[in-house]
Structure 1
Amino acid sequence: MADDAARVNKLLRQQAAIAGFGSYALRENDLHKVLTEAARVCAAGLDVPFSKVCRYRADENDLLVEAGFGWRPGVVSKVVSRADDSTPQGRAFITGEPSICNDLREDTGFELPAFYAEHGIISTVDVVIHIKDKQPYGVLEIDNNVQQDYDQHDINFLTGFANVLAEAVATSARLELLQTTIGEMKALVTEKDRLLDQKKVLAEELQHRVRNNLQLIYGMLTKQLDDTADEAGQRGLRAIARRVFTLAKVYENLLGTEMTHATDFGAYVKSLCVNLSEIQDGDIDGIDLVCSSESFLLELDMVTALGIIVAELVTNSYDHAFADRTGAIAVTVVRDAQALDRGRLTIWDNGAGFVEQPGSKRHGVGLVRRLVEQIDGDIHLTVDNGARWIVDFPIPAASSQHLDEYQAS
C-alpha cells in the first residue's frame, strides 16, 4: 500500500511538473531559458542528479548539449555526441523511439563521450523531441550516477514532457521567424520612406525649376511686348504669355504639397483668378472678377487644360465684353449634384454677349474647344444678358481617391 501511495504521489508530482513547465514555456520567449528549465524540471521529476537537452545539427550530423542540469562546466554548449547508435541519445534520435539503458557498464556497444565517465553516469533514459511535420529537434535525456531500473511510467513522463518541450521549440521558431519578418518589413518600410522622401525632394526641386523657368519665359515675353509696336504681334505675344502664366501657376500651386501628379483644382482656380486681373491690359478697374470653387483633386494634364480654358475665356471677357470698361465676370467650379464623377466649370460675364463668327481670328476660342475635346468634356455657350460658358468635364475615380487621401493628410 505504501508503495502504491508513493507511486501515485510521484505521478501527481510529475503531472504537476509538466503542467507547470507548460505554463512557464508559454510565458518565456528566450528558448535557452526554456530548455534549461526543462532540464531542471525533468531532473526533479525523476529525482536524478543530471539532465540535458541535445539539439541535432544536420550539417555535422551530431547532437550538441544545448542545455542541461547538474553538469560541470564544459559540458553545456560544448559536448557533442554522434547521431547514430553509438550513443544512447543517438540511438533514440535515429530510431525515433525511447532508449533506456539501466546500466551503461554492461552495455559495451556504446562509444560514450568522456563526460559520462567523468560524472560517473550509469543509467540513462532518452526520448526524442518530435516537432510536427519537421525533423526532430533533438533528444531529452536524464542521467543518473546510481544504477536504476526505469519503467514505463518514467518513459511516459519524459515523453509527455518532450512533447510540451517540442511545442515550446516550435513556438520559439515561429516567433523568431515572425521577428525576422517584422525586421525585414521595417527595413523595407524605412527604405520606402527614404525613397519617398527622396522622390519628394526631387519632385519639389523639379517643380521649382519648372515654375521658375516658366516665370522667366513669361518675363521675357512681357518685355518683348514693350519692344513690339505691331498690334497683331502684341496680341500674339500676350496670348502666349498668358498661357505660360497659367502653366507657371499650376506648378506654383503644387509647391508645398506632397502630391506630384495631382493638385486641388478648386484652390488652383481661385489662385489663378486673383492673378488673371493683374496681367490684363488697359483700364479694368471697373470690371469685377469673382471666383468660387469646390475642391477637386485632378491630374496635372486636366488641371493644365482647364486652367488655360479659364484664362482664355476670362481674358476674352476682359477684352471684348465691356465697351464702357465696367461690368462683372464670375468663375465657378462645382461637382455635379447628380453625377459626382462630373464637374462643371462656368465662366459668366454681364457684358455685350458673344457670337462666334465663322473664320473668326479669335484663336483663343478655338484653343478652348480643342482643350475641352482633349479632356473628354463638353462646352456650351449661352448668350443672354452677357455670355455664359459652361464646361462639363469628368472627374476620374482616381482623382476622388487622391482627394480623400489629400484631405486625410
Structure 2
Amino acid sequence: MEERPSEASEDGVLDKLRRHVRILVDIGRLAGENADLNRFLDQTVVQIARAVEIHHIKVLQYRPNTSDLLLAAGVGWKEGAVRSSTFTIDLRSAPGRAFQTAEPVSIRDFREQDEYIASDFLKEHGIVSVTNVPVLIDGAAWGVLEVDSTTPRNFTEDTTDFLTAAAALIATKIRGRERPNEEARLMVAAAEAQKREVLLREMQHRVKNNFQLVLSSISIQKRRYAEEGAHRALDHVASRIHAISLAHDQLSFRDEGQSVRLSNYLRALCGAIRQQVDGVEIEVECDELELSMDRALPVGLILNEAAMNSIKHAFGPEGGKIRVRLVGGVGYGEARLTISDNGRGIQKYNEHGSGIKLIASLARQIGGAVDQETSDSGTTTALTFPLMTS
C-alpha cells in the first residue's frame, strides 16, 4: 500500500528527531572524555554537520582583549581558516547579535533583507543563509554556534532546539575544562584571593547577562520603528552599553579592589568601534596603565563618544583615520587620552550639544579636564585625568 504524503512527512520528522537525539548523545559522550577543548570542538562540529545535513559549521569564541569572535572550530571552511579567522560582534552581524543579546538569530537569505550584513568570509564561501545560537555559561555568552548554508533555508524550531542543546553540551565541556585549572590555582592562592576570584566571575556573568538583556530589548525596539533617526538613537545607546560591557570583560581583582587594565580596555573598545564602520581606520597606542572600575568606565565612554562623533560628522564617503593615544606620567601623577581624526572637521560643532555635555560630565566624575578643537584639518579631543587606581 502506497504511503500517504502526510505519513511520509511525519516519518521524516521522526527520523530527524531520532538522529538529533543520537548525535546529542555522541556529543555528550565526547564532552565526558579527557580530550582537550580544541579536539572536542573539532569532533563536535562534524557531528553537528551530520545532524543538520549542512556542510558548513563553526564555533566562535569571544576574545575580550580584541572584542571579536575567533573561529575556534569549524568544518567546511577553506584550509587555514579555523583558529585564525575572526568575526565582529557588531549588532549588524548575525553572530554578533546572537552573542550580544544571548538569543538565537536566523537569516533565510541575506539577499532578501537589509538588517544584517554578510561578512566577506561568508561571501567568499558562498553562504547565503545562517542560524546562530549563543553558547551560554551561567547565563553569559562564551561564544556562538553557527550553521551556514549555501542555499536559502528556513531553519525550523527543531533545528534551533537541537543547536541550543548542542551549545549547552559545549558549555558543559568548557566549564569542566576550567575546573581543573581553577583547582590548581586554588591550591596556590590564598583563601581570600580564592573567594574574590569566584565572586568576580559570578559578578561578571550576572552583569554580562544583564547587558545582553538590555541589548536584546534595544534590538526589539529597533524592529518596532522604521524611522532612521530612531535607529540611529538606539544604535548610539547600544554602543554606550557595549562600552560598559567591555570594561567588565577586562575587570580583575587586586588587593585594593576591582581594577581594569585600561590599555587592554581601550584597545578592545577601539576594536569594537572599528567593526561598526567601513573605511575608517583606528590606530591605537597605549601605555600599560590600570584604573579602578569606576574610573575606567568614564574614560572608555569618553573615547566611545569622541570616536563616534568623528565617524558620524568628520568623514566623507572616503573615510579616514582616528588616532587614539593613552600616555601616563603626564604632569603630577596624571594621564592623557587623546582622540584625533584627519577628517574635514565637525561642521556643526556645538559646544552646548548633548554629546559635548556628556563628555564634560564624565570628565568631571574622575577629576579630569577635556579640551576639544576642530578645524578643516581634523578634530582632537584630549582628556587629562589623575592616575588613581581607587
Q: Is the strand fraction higher in 1 or 2?
A: 2
- Which protein is bigger by CA-based radius of gyration? 1
* Greater relative contact order, per chain length (Cα 8 Å cut-off, separation 6+): 2
Provide TM-score, normalisation by structure 2: 0.48
Provide TM-score, normalisation by structure 1: 0.45
